[in-house]
Structures are given as C-alpha cells and as structure tokens.
Structure 1
C-alpha cells in the first residue's frame, strides 16, 4: 500500500468534526448525514424506525417495511467549532549550529473549523409484497481543518480536507411477517487534500507535505436484517463493509484510504395506547484499521518530507469506536411529530493525538420535528449540539534521534448540525 494512499486514509479519518451527517460528525471523521430525521433524534433507532426512505442508508432490510414508493431528499449543514489553546512550540534545529532552541507560546485559535454542506437523496421502490429495491447518494465521511498561513507550528497545522460520497444500490426481501433481509453495493468516491508547512528541516521547499485533491473510487457493501415482534416493536441489525481505496493527485502522489467497517443494532418500541415511542442504537466503528498514514511517490520539490525515497509515514494508531444512542418520538397529532435524542460517542484517538485532527469522546443533544404537509408528503427538521471533551495534545517530529520540533496544546472540538429534508410517498 502506498504511503500517499495511507495519508489520504488517515487524513480522511483524521479530523472529524463531523461535518454533518453523511453521518453527522462523529469521532474520527465519520459523518452522520443521511437524514434530518436522524439528526433530530441523535440517530437513535435509525437502523429500524423506517419513517422515511433514508433508513436504507443504515439498514437495507428496512426497505421491506414500505408498501409504497418513497423519496427523501435534503441536506445537512455541519459547523465545527474547534479551539486550539495554551500551545507551546519548540524548534530544536538551532542547536545543530550551537544556538539555543526556539521556544514560543502560540496564540490561541478558534477558527480552525468551518461550515460544510452534505446533501442526500434516497429512493425506495417496492416491487411486490416480497421484494423492494432502492438507490441513494450521501456522504459517510468527511472533515476539514485549516490553520492560518502564519501559524508558527505549521508542520502540525496546515490544511486537512477530506470528503467521501457514497452512491448505493440495494434490495430487500421479506421472508415472512417477522423477518426481512437486505443487501446493497456502495460505490464510494473520495477526495483529499493535505498540506503541512516546512519548519526548516526539509530545505527551502515551502511545504513539508503537499498532496492536493487526490481522488479515487472504491466498492463496498452492506447487509442487514429486521425482526418485527409486532406492529409496535421491532429490531434491526446492519453491517457495512468499507474498503480501502487508492487516491491519486495530479502529481502522481498516491494515498490509500482504509475506511472503517460499521455494525449497528437498533430497537424501536411504540408504547401501546399512547402517542410515545422509545428507540435506541449501539454502533461499532472499526477505526483501528488506521494505524498510520503512508505517503508514496512524493514530489521532492514540494514534499521534501518524503526525502529521496518519496515516502513518508505518519503514525496515528487509532482505536475502535462506539456510539450509544437513545431517543424518544411523540406523535402529537396528524400534522406534527416531535423527537429528541442523546448519543455518547467514543473517541477514535488513543495515546497519539493531533492538533490537526482534534478528537475526543463526544455527547450529542438532539431535537427535531416532522410537519406533515398532507398524507403523502412531509418536511423534517433536525438540530444537534455536539460537545467534545478537552484533550491535551503532544506532537513531535524526529530526525534520527533528535526531536526536531514539537508542540503541546489543548484542543476542543464541538459542532452544530442542522438538517432539512423533504419526503414523499407515491
């Protein structure tokens, strides 16, 4: 696997802030952006609730719960609020010339993040009482952080911009009144840019690393099942295989991006003779696939960090992550449905941390509603405030046995997710 390819891998996953659903910002660089409905309940129960066509993005078997053609389309905005504070930068290179090292307090910055828009569309078409098929497009992964050009620790800051788009085709089969099964193929397009400043270790080149808009395609798959205990109680389980894929920029620099596999269990229970339902999800994300980013065939004129070999490794050593979500839905009347949810989302980072990829355990506080325009169409709105923990970060670059430069800082990454969606049955 080329190091350039790994760079994209890890970069992709490296900075999270969720950008929004695709999965709307979660640990690592996972987006939860499939639907505004999911944002409004912290995606609790999303692999089985099936209140609109977006459920096929979480569990293809849930398409069997529809008896009419269903269309959902919308978008999510993800605003990441990233702070890097109390940073100290040290450059030991002057010691090679008999001079004292450079030690500087770095000004606090709170404008590293930004706002991203993630659109989505889902279509489910029942063929008969047994079979249904569907197509969709949305984003599963993405992240962007950008430090100012004059940031003194530019070899640790710089620009990280990664995004992926998922184009899916799926089918479902209803075995009987209780069991349904589904499977689908995913065509994934990814694009990544990663730039790091030159601290003087690598000659006179302006960048220590400069991979610009590397892109590529890969194919994954997903499978799932739904078990209906009765009309008010059901469970869903889904597994998504996410592949490694290779991306290449115009200079021939390659990046291999290993995306994490995802497994999810969901439950939905409407309380009999009431207007209230409770739902929940447990999701596993295989972030341990990201041990390091490898860059290969680096352009020596712009990426001297690769040296004569054109190769560079950046360790990340991420750990697997978990989401635990619970939510409630209140069916107020024929016009309005109200929902809320809470999620606890564990960090993908373990002992190694990064200011360019701020990550931590996170809590989601979510609320939303559906307004039914008529019996066939509705509009959904969802809002989430995502709170990250403060994390003490230590990063360094070594040349031989010498720690050439290092940075210590405290990072915190919060986010605001807003979703709007239109759904219609035919």
Structure 2
C-alpha cells in the first residue's frame, strides 16, 4: 500500500503535464481547428451564426435549421505544431543554487509528427420547423513528445497523449421566421497516456538511463450544448450558444519499476459561451464576426485519489485564467461554383508564465487563415482551409513557485508556430430541387 501511494505521489507532476498536453493551437489543450475545413479558412469567424457552414453545429446547435433537407459533411484536419524548449539558465538540482544537473540540453521539437483530427456533421429536416442531427469531433487533446527524450526537464515529461471523441445528437426547432433554437447532448470519451523520467532516487531520475513512469486512463462522460439564432432582418444572422462543462472521471494506473497502482482523478473541463454575427453585403460578399469566452478558471485543483484506499494522495493545482477568442472573416463568391474566404483571429490564452508546463507551448496567439469552397454539383461541395498561427514566446519556470514544481529547477523558452490544413466534403442526400418550406433568411452561398 505505501509503495503504491509513494508511486502515485511521485507522479503528480507528470499528471499535470499530461492534462496540459497540447500544441497551443487553442486555449490550453482545446482543439478548435479540427472542427471544420470551411471554418478554418475564416479563423472560425461567425461560427455561432452559421457562417462556417455545417461545422457551426459544433458551436451552436440552432444552426442545424439553416441547412434544408438531408445533408452530411466530413472533415479531416492535419495539425503540425512546432516548439522547442531551450534552457534560459543552468538547470540545477534541489534549489536555484544547487548542483548542476548533469543534463543541460533542451527538449527539441515537442510537436512530434503532428496529428490528424476528424469531424463530421449530419442533419435531417423532418418538417418545415423541426430538424435532427449528429455531430462528431475531438474538442480536446493532442499528441506532444519531446524530440530529445533525455533532456534537462525530463522529470516533468517525455511524451503525452490526450484524445477525446465527442458524439452529440442534436435537435433544432424553427420557432418563426426570425428565431431558431437548438440543443445537443455531448457524450465524450477521454483517454490519456503519459511518460516521464523517474527512478528510485533523484540521481537515477535525472540521468540518461532513467526509466519511464507511465500513466494511463480513460473515461466516458456527458454534457450539453444549447443555442439560438436570430435573423432580425434579411441578410443578417446573429447566433449565441453555451457549451456546458463536462465532469470527466478519469480512471487508470500509474506504472513504474516499483509496480502498478490504480488511481482516479476528477476533471472539470471548461464551459464556454460563443457569439457570432454574419452579414450579407451583396450578391458576392459576406462578412462574419465572432467572440468566444472559455471558463478555464474552473480547471484549477485536481485531486489524485488512490482507488485502493479511496484517499487523496496529492492535488494538482492549476492557476488558469479564462480565455477569449476574437475573429473576423470575409467570403467572396467568385462565380456560381467557387467561393473564396479569409479570416484573422486573436486569442488570449488561459496559460501564463507561472503555470505553463513542458508539454504545452501555449500563449496568446494570432491566426491568419484562408480557404475556398467549390460546388461540384448541386449535391456535392468541397472545402479547403489553411491557417498559420503565430504564438507569442512561451516560457516554463520550474524555479520554485511553479504549481507542479519538482526537484529539478528548470527554466526554458520556446518560440511556437503552427501550420494547419483541413479538407471537407459536404453532400446533400435528398433532391435540392424539391422545395422545402420556410427557407432561412440568411444562409450559406
């Protein structure tokens, strides 16, 4: 029993790194960019008001009523993140003035080989007022791996993998010509895996032959989304939506050379509010704006509990701020088949220099996006989107006051940047020539 407790307690720093795993393409370990190729091309401006096509259902379920008939959309996104933590001062043991760590090199690129992110949307208009549908996606998590597994901060993490799969049955109701409402149930699967350097003594933990400590766990939990769209006049759509927090109860194990111990941890993933406006300017131009607030400040204290004793053995203390995302975009209908788009966004990160970990190069960031749609037939549309994200310099400061401070005093800085490319296909299953009553006043081209 005591051996298991000691093992789990030693892993608390590593669990923190796991939960913060990501490549800073959205606040902390959220993945905004994988939801829609059409949306990526405009930095997700107008997501709440339906401006990004069917992918808007991931933000605002009421937008399901903007797409008549029976439709499906499939998206695949490749995200390539780049960041390397290079030490900014000598790495020491025990204190800022302690003996030098025998390993002084940085992490190398923590982005690994990047990641592919799928998302899909389907809707079915049952009557002139009622829709049902389904969305799938991965709203949180990304792989993160130090290129150099033997580096000065290896006790804080070598590799991490956090995956989610979110399946959301959705309904929408068109109350009248200017108001639609919608709701969705979120069923979310979360799986984690983490490796960091460990050993029986501090000396073996920091050495080049330090064995891995591995944490694994998974869980399935439920949340919801609700939203509304308004069309106060022809050509204008306003949308607002709320995504609930999901209370995820992670259950898994910690494995070391000393054995395997079962643990669990309760995670309160953030809730959010999103607002958007889409405006038709003329037959060729549309403009879109968006604002999103995410309640990351609820992601603060995570107790680690032994499943054998039922008692907390440690607590992971985060000090995240709430995040804000501001976006603007335009679309230009070049001809009947081709639509071009571009967007820009700026995000205020929930992570700061006092709580950032070696597996997350998150900071305030600028999005620059472009994309296009091509209507192949009256049933088939293809989308392509690209975004470059420039992230402000990101520092890690394991210098005595870090929430996950361990025995190694390690300070480093990264200069992150991210490339994202996404492709999508939208297909209408019924006959578009068959008129369905009560078309929306504002809709996609």
Scaled by the length of structure 1, what TM-score is found? 0.86
Q: Which residue matches 2:435?
A: none
Q: Which residue matches 1:264?
A: 274
Q: Which residue matches 2:305?
A: 296
Scaled by the length of structure 2, what TM-score is found? 0.83
- With 354-363 and 170-179 compared, the bigger mean Cα shift is at 354-363
Matched, 1:129 2:128: yes
Gaps of 5+ in 2: 1-7, 254-260, 431-445
Q: 1:232 aligns with which of 229, 232, 235?
A: 235
Which has the larger strand fraction?
A: 1
Q: 2:214 aligns with which of 189, 210, 214?
A: 210
Alpha-carbon distance in structure 2 between the residues aligned to 1:377 and 1:5: 51
Cα deviation digits, residues 20-41 of structure 1 (max 9, x gap): xxxxx31211101211011110
Q: Which residue matches 2:189?
A: 189
Q: Which residue matches 2:20?
A: 14
Q: Which residue matches 2:169?
A: 169
What's the Cα RMSD here?
Answer: 3.0
Cα deviation digits, residues 40-69 of structure 1 (max 9, x gap): 100000111356322211111111122211
CA contact (8 A) 1:17 1:414 kept: no
Alpha-carbon distance in structure 1 between the residues aligned to 2:362 and 2:95: 32
Alpha-carbon distance in structure 2 between the residues aligned to 1:417 and 1:195: 26
CA contact (8 A) 2:221 2:248 kept: yes
CA contact (8 A) 1:389 1:412 kept: yes
CA 358–313 in structure 1, closer or farther in 2 if over 3 Å, else same:
farther
Cα deviation digits, residues 41-98 of structure 1 (max 9, x gap): 0000011135632221111111112221111012111111112123445343599xxx
CA 184–174 in structure 1, closer or farther in 2 if over 3 Å, else same:
same
Cα deviation digits, residues 155-195 of structure 1 (max 9, x gap): 12322211111000010111111011001100000011122
Pairing of 1:138-153 with structure 2 (within 5 A): 138-147=137-146, 148-153=148-153
Matched, 1:277 2:286: yes
Gaps of 5+ in 1: 19-24, 300-308
CA 132–94 in structure 1, closer or farther in 2 if over 3 Å, else same:
closer
Q: Which residue matches 1:358?
A: 361
Cα deviation digits, residues 117-148 of structure 1 (max 9, x gap): 11111101111111101012111011222123
Alpha-carbon distance in structure 2 between the residues aligned to 1:88 and 1:17: 24
Q: Which residue matches 1:64?
A: 65
Cα deviation digits, residues 352-399 of structure 1 (max 9, x gap): 22222221001100000001101111100000001100123211469x
CA contact (8 A) 1:42 1:325 kept: yes
Q: Which residue matches 2:160?
A: 160
Cα deviation for residue 276 of structure 1 reads: 0.9
